[in-house]
A and B are shown apart, each in its own frame.
Chain A
Amino acid sequence: MPKAKAKTPMPLSREELLRAYRTMKTIRVFEERMCKEFENGNIPGFVHMYDGQEAIATAVCMNLTDQDYIGSTHRGHGHCIAKGCDVKSMMKEIMAKTTGLCRGKGGSMHIADLEKGMLGANAIVGGAPPLCVGAALSAKTLKNGGVAVAFTGDGASNQGTVFEAMNFAVVLQLPALFIYENNGYGEATGVSYAVGSGDIAGRAAAFGMPATKVDGTDFFAVYEAAREAVERGRVGGGPTSIEAITTRFSGHFVGDAQLYRAKDEVKRFRDTMDCLPIFRQRVTGEKWLTDTELADIDAEIDILIDEAVAEGLAAPSPDLSELYTDVYCSY
């Protein structure tokens, strides 16, 4: 006889759930608008979209404070927003404006905000994990209870720097998290081809740390895995790896024709793997939040991103003298 479904207790407070939705949705709208502004010619260089992966950055960073550090990737806008970077300053930075987070000298792939514990997006695949274990070493040495998180992808999971960083973190029992966002592709090459073992979490476990694989489209699954890992790190329990299975709705970069994906793949994944409706259905279905509350947030975010773009476009470019500054503290 089927049992009546028990009402699930709320895993987070209402305020936290609202914050989670706000963060995920901000990332989504930011990225969709980024794509549009790139096509409008308002973004120099090139940009990599995080849309589709929002639940991961959001769920992990909700376990962190400004004293904790994260390192990111070339696909870093979502991590920045989730870690608390100011959205308008980010937009200005990506538009190469002097009032941007890095005064227009970093750009999309190098946004950093050390005040917020954001050690930088990183344009070198596998570049950040060694730096992140250094931030974890600081936390351990200074005994401040902090943790450091290295966000990487399936692509970086094959880099030697990442293997070294994992071993180093295990040897020194550092409060570090390695988050592998497995979105199925490293540029235009599939995981089934490029990851020899096909099992990133299994490979991480072989370095001697707890490693789990979670559904990266499920905010709650990622949140719970990250919560355990962060708690372990804070009390001296050493590093953890989490492989989050996800997808990207955009190409490797804006403008990528994505010929390496089956014609219907993105549509299929949008229908079945979109973390936003999955979250929305869960929280409204459980009656933790209402549709009205979420719609209000949607409206606020639309205004925020409109303002960010307008202010970004109006902001000044760096003075030409900026070319020569900020190379050294003193020289």
Chain B
Amino acid sequence: MTMKTIRQVINETMRNEMRRDPRVILIGEDVAGGAGGTGEDDALGGAFGAYKGLVGEFGRERVIDTPISESAFIGAAGGAACTGLRPVADLMFVDFVGVCFDQIYNQIAKFRYMFGGKSETPLVILSAIGAGQRCGAQHSQMLHPMLTAVPGLKVVMPSNAYDTKGLLTTAIRDNDPVMFLQHKLLLDQKWEVPDEEYTIPFGEAAFTREGDDVTIVALSSMVHKANAVADKLAAEGISVEVIDPRTTSPLDEEAILESVEVTGRLVIVDEASERCSLAADISSIVAEKGFSSLRAPIRKVTAPHTPVPFAPALEDLYVPDEAKIENAVREIL
């Protein structure tokens, strides 16, 4: 098997799906880059370079550079999705939902319900999430809690390249609007990824560590910190199970409840701010549906209720780290 980065598998998956189905288009700011400039075409291939080369193969009719105009191109992608295309829209940074949220949550997410089930909106919005690159408060947020709270949207948060390929393939072939959130810090890490196509169903969590003393549910880049803590504690004979939900809507509640039934202890790690986070959501689900399994209070490890800071020392303090996760586990053992 080949080692591939998330950046590479996004490119590979887009290429596969665009070859497979002529209705799949890629639209967004600088998804090729260079339109109207005096230099090279395909100058960027997306803000993260993940789409490099696609315009060469599929042309500007299917790899569409847009003005910096998120309401227009996200709305247009939604309108195109219910009139015959299967767009993948690149929203660059998830923070930018702030300028197009009406199109996402009032329009796209609600079509099917408002129209009595008579529409399909096969749309994927790809967007980068997360802190850690000193990008400050408007380019570092998570925002998956807000998106997960919207009925009609599906929300995907892969933690590795293998899952990215399978989940993105599923997302593009799905007939509902999907928010596909990839963490910036993971883009260049490598994982073993098969060359052949495969899909991963939504709503099926991955168990990245198996154990029976404590369950950690972690999302996106936090999965790797949880794994590291599990490995460290294993040396002390503490057996930690790590669950990566992979999609927050739908959420694999069953996997979490079954694990807590065995361990009786739950730590949830979420890079979002604490209030109304996925950590709070999962905590309430387990408190309501798995209370009798619990042998200790649920612990949440999240970012604080602040914007993402710029100063490196503050940002490092903002993002949950392994020490905080380890402490949370030890507190409830």
Query: Footprint of B on A, CB under 8 Å?
Result: 69, 71, 100-106, 110, 112-115, 119-120, 122-124, 127, 129-135, 137-139, 141-142, 148, 160-161, 164-165, 167-168, 171-172, 325-331
Contacts of A104 in B (CB 8 A): 116
Quick check: B112 and A131 within 8 Å, CB to CB?
A: no
- Asked whether any CB of chain A lies closer than 8 Å to the CB of B66, the reply is yes
Quick check: B84 and A142 within 8 Å, CB to CB?
A: yes
A330 to B122, CA, bound (A): 12
Contacts of A119 in B (CB 8 A): 79, 82-83
Minimum CB–CB distance for B95 against chain A, Å: 18
A101 to B75, CA, bound (A): 23
Could you pull out 7 A-B pairs where Cβ atoms are within 8 angstroms? A110-B114, A114-B115, A129-B75, A137-B79, A161-B75, A168-B67, A326-B115
Contacts of B62 in A (CB 8 A): 141
Quick check: A172 and B69 within 8 Å, CB to CB?
A: no
A173 to B256, CA, bound (A): 50
Query: Footprint of A on B, CB under 8 Å?
Result: 23, 25, 61-62, 64, 66-67, 69, 71-85, 87, 102-103, 106-107, 111-120, 151-152, 154, 174-176, 203, 250
Contacts of A148 in B (CB 8 A): 79, 83
Chain A residue with minimal CB distance to B177?
Answer: A328
A123 to B117, CA, bound (A): 18
Q: Is the interface of A mostly helix, strand, loop or mixed?
A: mixed
A137 to B61, CA, bound (A): 10
Quick check: A328 and B83 within 8 Å, CB to CB?
A: no
Contact of A106 among B73, B103, B114 (CB under 8 A): B114
Which of B82, B87, B174 has the largest number of chain A CB atoms within 10 A? B82
When A and B form their complex, which 4 residue pairs have the shortest distance between CB atoms, in order from nearest?
A: A134-B79, A130-B75, A103-B116, A131-B79
Contacts of A138 in B (CB 8 A): 79-80, 83-85
A168-B115 contact in complex given A131-B79, A133-B76, A134-B83, C-beta closer than 8 Å = no
Quick check: B76 and A168 within 8 Å, CB to CB?
A: yes
A329-B72 contact in complex given A131-B107, A171-B66, C-beta closer than 8 Å = no
Q: A148-B79, A165-B76, A168-B72 are in contact. List 4 more A-B contacts (CB 8 A).
A: A102-B118, A112-B119, A114-B115, A329-B175
Quick check: A325 and B85 within 8 Å, CB to CB?
A: no
Quick check: B75 and A131 within 8 Å, CB to CB?
A: yes
Quick check: B79 and A114 within 8 Å, CB to CB?
A: no
Quick check: B117 and A114 within 8 Å, CB to CB?
A: no
Contact of B119 among A114, A164, A165, A325 (CB under 8 A): A114
A137-B76 contact in complex given A110-B115, A142-B85, A326-B112, C-beta closer than 8 Å = yes
